[in-house]
Amino acid sequence: MAHKFIINDGYLILGDVEFHENLISKGRDKSKTVGGGRWHVDKERNVIFFYGKSVDFGKVKQKDFDEAFKQPSVERMGNFFSEKENFEEVLKEYEEFCNKSE
């Protein structure tokens, strides 16, 4: 197993897999994969390195990587946890939280 990534249908997909093709989940079109490589998290530098190429799909072009990296990500988005089960109640709780923070 290794830290590998692919760009599939405009999305950056990461995982710990043996083969890059294992990153393509059910329902995704394999033909829309434009390349792949490996990734490494350096906690000391606070950087994720993306490098190399995929034997299955080839090397990712910088343009394709930049476009995929613009997709929404849990890491780059704000987050809010609630124990509520109804989304409308979660939104109300979130609004109250935001109003208290101002």
Residue type (1 letter), 92: K
Domain count, the chain: 2
Asked whether the whole model's pTM tops 0.75, one would answer no
| Residue 99, CA distances (Å) to 87, 95, 96 in order | 18, 6, 5
If you search the block for the tokens 């830290």, which residue do you land on?
3
* pLDDT tens digit sequence for 43-98: 888 888 899 999 999 999 989 988 887 776 655 666 677 888 888 898 899 989 88
Residue 48 sits in the same domain as residue 19: yes
Residue 62 sits in the same domain as residue 102: no
| Domain that includes residue 89, residue range | 78-102
Q: What is the pLDDT of residue 78?
A: 67
Question: Nearest 5°: CA angle at 93, between 87 and 94?
Answer: 90
Q: What would the two tokens of residue 98 be?
A: 């935001």
Q: How far apart are CA 82 and CA 95, in angstroms?
A: 12
Q: How far apart are CA 68 and CA 7, in angstroms?
A: 7
Residue 55 sits in the same domain as residue 93: no
Q: What is the pLDDT of residue 26?
A: 84
If you search the block for the tokens 């950056």, which residue do you land on?
12
**Phi, psi angles (nearest 5°) of residue 50:** -115, 130
